[in-house]
Chains A and B, each alone.
Chain A
Amino acid sequence: MNMKQTFFALQKKLGFSASFVLTMGVTIGVFLAVAVLYYVTLLQPLSYQKQTNLFVLESKIQGHPRAPKVSMYPYPVVTDIYKHQTHLDSVAIVTYGDDILFSLPSKPTVNLAFATPEYFQLLDVEYELGTGLSSENTLESSTPEAVISYQLWQDKFNSNPDILGEKVMLDSVSYTIIGVTSEDFIEPQLYEVGLKTDVFLPWPFNSVPERARNSWSNFAPNLFVLSYKSNDSPVSFIESQLTSQVNERWKQEVIGRKSFEGMSLKMELKPLKDVVIGDGRDIYFVMLLGGIGLLLIASTNVLNLLISRLSEQSRSLAIRAALGANKWHLVKHLYSEVFTLMFASLVVSLLVASLLFSVIRGEMQLVFPRAQEVSVNGFTILIASLTAFILSILLTLLPSLSINYKKLKSVVQGSGKGSGIQVSAKARKFALIFEVFIASVISIFSIMYLWSALAVINAPTHFKIDDVTQVQLTYSSGDGITEEEFTSVIEQIQGELLSMAEVESVSNSSSPFNGFSGRSVTKVVNDERFTVRSKYIDDEYFTIIDQQLSAGRTFSATEVKEGALVAVINESFSESFGGPNSAINSLISMRDEQYQIVGVVKDIHLPKVEGQEFRIYRPAPEKNSNFIVQLKPGMTLEPQSILNLIDRVNPRFTLYKMTELKSLYNQATFFEIVTVVISTLLLVVILFLCAVGLYGVISYGVNLRSVEIGTKLAIGSSRLKMKLAIVKENSIHFAIGFLSSALIIGYLIWKQHITEFVVSVFISSFVVSSAALLAVVVCASYLPINNLLRKNILQIIKGE
Chain B
Amino acid sequence: MDNFVVELKDICKKFELEHMQTDALKNINLQIKKGEYLSISGPSGCGKSTLLSILGMLDAPSSGEYLLNGKNVAELSDTEGARVRNKEIGFIFQSFNLIDEINVFDNIALPLSYRDNKPSNAEIKQKVEECIELVGLSSRLLHYPKQLSGGQQQRVSIARALVTNPSILLVDEATGNLDSKSGDAVMEVFSNLNQQGTTICAVTHDTRYMDHASRQLKLLDGVFWQNEEIRQAI
Contact = CB atoms under 8 A, between A and B. Distances in A.
A306 B52 CA distance: 32
A2 B114 CA distance: 12
**For chain A, which range describes its interface: under 10, 10 to 19, 20 to 34, or 35 or more residues?**
20 to 34
B53 A319 contact: no
Nearest to A328: B79
A326 interface: yes
Interface string B102-117: 1000100011011000
Interface stretch (B62-70, B89-97, B135-143): B89-97
A323 B91 contact: yes
A12 interface: yes
A415 B114 contact: no
Nearest to A323: B111
A410 B110 contact: no
A378 interface: no
A405 B99 CA distance: 18
B106 A5 contact: yes
Contacts of B111: 323-324
A789 interface: no
Contacts of B101: 5, 8-9, 12, 316
Given A326-B78, A326-B79, A413 B59 contact: yes
A523 interface: no
A325 interface: yes
Contact of B102 (A5, A323, A405, A406): A5
A321 interface: yes
Contact of B78 (A5, A323, A406): A406
A5 B113 CA distance: 13
Given A5-B106, A9-B101, A321 B52 contact: no
A325 B89 CA distance: 13
A265 B183 CA distance: 103
Interface in B24-63: 49-50, 52-53, 56-60
A412 B85 contact: no
Contacts of B113: 2, 329
B46 to A, nearest CB: 15
A658 interface: no
Contacts of A409: 57-59
A125 interface: no
Interface string B141-161: 000000000000000000010
B7 interface: no
Contacts of B93: 322, 412-413
A376 to B, nearest CB: 36
Contact of A325 (B58, B82, B94, B97): B82
A325 B98 CA distance: 15
B59 A323 contact: no
Most chain-B Cβ atoms within 10 A of its Cβ — which of A324, A329, A410, A412? A324
A327 B106 contact: no
Contacts of B49: 413-414
B212 interface: no
B114 A329 contact: yes
B109 to A, nearest CB: 9
A2 B106 contact: yes
A633 B113 CA distance: 79
Contact of B82 (A2, A324, A413): A324
B15 to A, nearest CB: 9
A328 to B, nearest CB: 7
Nearest to B15: A417
Interface string A403-423: 001100110111100000000
12 contacts: A8-B101, A12-B101, A323-B111, A324-B82, A324-B86, A324-B89, A325-B86, A410-B53, A412-B58, A412-B97, A413-B50, A413-B172
Interface of A: 2, 5, 8-9, 12, 315-316, 319-329, 405-406, 409-410, 412-415
Smallest CB-CB A-B distances: 8 pairs: A324-B86, A326-B82, A410-B59, A409-B58, A326-B79, A323-B111, A324-B114, A324-B85
Given A329-B114, A413-B53, 13 more contacts: A5-B101, A12-B101, A319-B97, A322-B56, A324-B85, A324-B111, A325-B86, A325-B114, A327-B79, A405-B78, A409-B57, A409-B59, A413-B93
